Amino acid sequence: MKNLLSKYTSFLFNEVTLSRAFWLYGNVILGVLIIILILLGLILTDDLRNFVDIQKFTTTYVFKKIILKSSAILVSAYTIFITYIIFKAANRYQGARKYFYGAKIIAAITALFTIKDIIKYFF
């Protein structure tokens, strides 16, 4: 338990490199979470847009909608959190400035478009 807590605090207080924060946490894990969210939406319904737009009030419909919306909120929260971690890791980066600016710009654009799409399709 102590090892897990120390990993969390080191991650939270930015003892993570820019490359690891950007590529692993910002691209790979976020991409997997988005794919899981899309698959979850497709499994729970035939058409994701119709599922969110149709106003049925059956128990299974409400339960499915709660699952999708809570999953979308979690992915949005992770996107904001990892963007913050990437920004802090970029501020500590000692290499070429193009990576500093590139990571920040790409992370910000990715966060904006991810959250925009989640709001468009799930809310």
Half-sphere CA count of 120, side-chain side, radius 13 A: 7
Which pLDDT value is given to residue 21? 87
Give the pLDDT of residue 111: 92
Given a contact cutoff of 8 angstroms between Cβ atoms, the answer to whether 18 and 93 are in contact is yes
Give residue 35's domain range: 16-122
Question: Using one digit for the tens of pLDDT, what is the confidence trace for 11-60?
Answer: 666 578 888 889 988 999 999 998 898 888 777 765 555 555 555 556 66
Asked, for residue 81, whether it belongs to a domain, the answer is: yes
Q: How wide is the angle at C-alpha 119 spanned by C-alphas 29 and 44, nearest 5°?
A: 70
Considering the domain boundaries, does residue 53 fall inside one? yes
Distance between CA atoms of residues 57 and 23, nearest Å: 41
Within a domain: 46: yes
Note whether residue 112 is domain-resident: yes
18 and 90 in contact (C-beta within 8 Å)? Answer: yes
Non-local (6+) Cβ contacts of 106 within 8 A are: 22
Q: Which residue has the higher pLDDT, 1 or 78?
A: 78
Residue 108 has a pLDDT of: 94
pLDDT value of position 58: 61
